[in-house]
Amino acid sequence: MTARIIDGKARAAALRADVAGHVTHFAARIGRAPGLAVVLVGEDPASGVYVRSKGKATREAGMVSVERRLPADIDEWALLELVSELNADPAIDGILVQLPLPSQIDAQAVIGAIDPAKDVDGFHPVNAGRLATGLPALVPCTPLGCLMLLREAYDGKLAGLDAVVVGRSNIVGKPMAQLLLGDSCTVTIAHSRTRDVAARVRSADIVIAAVGIPHFIAGDWIKPGATVIDVGINRLPDGRLVGDVDYAAAVEVAGAITPVPGGVGPMTIACLLRNTLVAACRREGLPEPDGL
Ligand SMILES: Nc1nc(=O)c2c([nH]1)NC[C@@H]1CN(c3ccc(C(=O)N[C@@H](CCC(=O)O)C(=O)O)cc3)C=[N+]21
Ligand SMILES: [Mg+2]
C-alpha cells in the first residue's frame, strides 16, 4: 500500500485565495486592508527568508505588510517599545515577532507584551488559555494548518480517532493536542521522556510529528493506513530539507502523509494570513469570515 500524498501546498493556495476574497470585502467595508507587522531581530539568513516569503504572501492576499528589523544586539526594552508602538497602531491588526530571539531577550516577556487581539501567532498566554477553554482565540498557525489538513483527510470525522502528538512545545505540540481534543480525538502527547514512543505511535490513527529531529519517526512505527502529519522542517548538512518522519519508509505503510517540503510549511503561512484577517474582522466588529 502506498500512502496518498497530502498536498499542503495546494490546500494552502486555496486558503490564501479564500482569504484574499474576504480581504476585498473587508477593504470595501472598512476603507483599509488588514495589516500584518512582522518583527525580525538580527540577521539570521533562514529567518530572513521566512520573513520575506511571509511579506510576499501578505501582499498577494491584498493585505498591508509592515516589516520591522532590529539589530541582533538590541535590549529587551527596545523590542518591548516597538511592540507597544505596534499595539497602538490602528492600521496594524496582526503582530508576529519572529522566533527564536537573541538570548539577551526574554521571549516570553515579548510575547506577553503583544496585544492578545493582535497575536496572530496565538502564542500569548491569553490565547493559549482561550484555546484550552474552548473560547474564541487566535490559534497557532502550524497546528491550525495541520487540523485543516486532517479535517479534509477525514471529511470532518475525527471523533474517536486515536491521535499521538510527538513533541510538547507551546508552539506546536500543546496547541495541536488542544485542537485534536476539540475535535473529539483521543489524544496522547509523547515527548523526550516518554517510554516506548514507538509503541505509542504504533497505536495511533493520526501521528503528528513535531520534534525537530530528522527521521525520528521510523516507518515501522506507523500503523498501516494511519495518517501522518510531519511538522518537522530540518535542513540536512547536504542542504536537503527533511521532516521528522522517515518519509520513504512511512509512505509505504501510511494511508496518507504530508511531504516536506510542500506539506505543513505552506499551511503555516496561509494560516497566518487567515489569522490576520480574523483578527482584523474582530477588531473592526465585523462578523467572522466563514469557511476559513
Ligand atoms: N513567531 C514565529 N512564528 C512562526 O510561524 C515562525 C517563527 N516565528 N519562526 C520561524 C518558524 C518557521 N516557520 C516556517 C513557516 C513556513 C515554512 C514553509 O513554508 N516551508 C516550506 C519550504 C521552505 C523552504 O524551502 O525552505 C515547506 O515546508 O514547503 C517554513 C517555516 C514559521 N516560523
Ligand atoms: Mg518537544
Residue type (1 letter), 227: T
Write down the pLDDT at residue 160.
Answer: 98
Q: Is residue 283 part of a domain?
A: no
Instruction: Tell me, yes or no, whether 166 and 101 share the same domain.
Output: no
Q: pLDDT by residue (tens digit) across 46-77? A: 888 889 999 999 999 999 999 999 999 999 99
Is the distance from the beta carbon of residue 261 to the nearest atom of ligand 1 less than 6 Å? yes
Q: Is residue 151 part of a domain?
A: yes
Is the distance from the beta carbon of residue 10 to the nearest atom of ligand 1 less than 6 Å? no
Measured distance CA(292)–CA(105) in Å, rounded:
35
Instruction: Tell me, yes or no, whether 165 and 211 share the same domain.
Output: yes
Give the SS3 label for residue 190.
strand
Q: How far apart are the first and last CA of the chain?
A: 33
Number of independent structural domains in the chain: 2
Q: What is the CATH number of the domain that holds 70?
A: 3.40.50.10860
Q: How far is the CA of 37 from the centre of ligand 1 (A)?
A: 16
Q: Is residue 129 part of a domain?
A: no
Q: pLDDT by residue (tens digit) across 164-174? A: 999 999 999 99
Q: What is the average per-residue pLDDT within 177-188?
A: 98
Q: Is residue 248 part of a domain?
A: yes
Dihedral pair phi/psi, residue 165, rounded to 5°: -105, 120
Instruction: Tell me, yes or no, whether 227 and 150 share the same domain.
Output: yes
**Hey, whose CA ends up nearest to atom 15 of ligand 1?**
265
Q: Is residue 256 part of a domain?
A: yes
Instruction: Tell me, yes or no, whether 161 and 60 share the same domain.
Output: no
**Hey, whose CA ends up nearest to atom 11 of ligand 1?**
99
Q: What count of other Cβ atoms lies within 10 Å of the Cβ of residue 72?
A: 12
Question: Which of these, 254, 245, 243, lies nearest to 206 by C-alpha position?
Answer: 254
Q: Is residue 73 part of a domain?
A: yes
Measured distance CA(141)–CA(220) in Å, rounded:
29
E strands, 112-230, in order: 162-166, 186-190, 206-209, 227-230
Here the cell at position 162 is 486515536
pLDDT tops 90 at residue 280: yes
Instruction: Tell me, yes or no, whether 177 and 256 share the same domain.
Output: yes
Q: What is the average per-residue pLDDT within 161-187?
A: 98
- Stated as kind and residue range, the H or E segment containing 261 is none
Give 245's DSSP letter: B
Q: What is the average per-residue pLDDT within 88-99?
A: 98
Q: What is the CATH number of the domain that holds 152?
A: 3.40.50.720
Write down the pLDDT at residue 49.
Answer: 87
Using alpha carbons only, how large is the chain's radius of gyration in Å? 19
Q: Is residue 273 part of a domain?
A: no
E strands, the chain, in order: 4-5, 35-41, 64-70, 94-97, 162-166, 186-190, 206-209, 227-230, 234-235, 241-242, 256-257
pLDDT tops 90 at residue 181: yes
Instruction: Tell me, yes or no, whether 186 and 234 share the same domain.
Output: yes
Instruction: Tell me, yes or no, whether 156 and 105 share the same domain.
Output: no
Instruction: Tell me, yes or no, whether 256 and 153 share the same domain.
Output: yes
Closest atom of ligand 1 relative to the 260 alpha carbon: 28
Q: What is the average per-residue pLDDT within 237-262?
A: 98
Give the SS3 label for residue 39.
strand
Instruction: Tell me, yes or no, whether 235 and 157 share the same domain.
Output: yes
Q: What is the pTM of this model?
A: 0.98
Instruction: Tell me, yes or no, whether 69 and 160 share the same domain.
Output: no
Question: Which of these, 66, 108, 101, 121, lies nearest to 268 by C-alpha position?
Answer: 121
Instruction: Tell me, yes or no, whether 176 and 249 share the same domain.
Output: yes
Write down the pLDDT at residue 117.
Answer: 98
**Hey, whose CA ends up nearest to atom 21 of ligand 1?**
265
Q: Is residue 280 part of a domain?
A: no
Q: pLDDT by residue (tens digit) across 125-152? A: 999 999 999 999 999 999 999 999 999 9
Instruction: Tell me, yes or no, whether 48 and 110 share the same domain.
Output: yes
Write down the pLDDT at residue 288.
Answer: 93
Can you tell me the ipTM of this complex? Answer: 0.96
Task: Note whether 264 and 230 are within 8 A (CB).
Answer: yes
Q: Which domain holds residue 54?
A: 31-117
Write down the pLDDT at residue 47.
Answer: 84
pLDDT tops 90 at residue 45: no
Measured distance CA(2)–CA(203) in Å, rounded:
19
HSE, side-chain direction, 13 A CA sphere, residue 4: 13
Q: What is the average per-residue pLDDT within 260-280?
A: 98
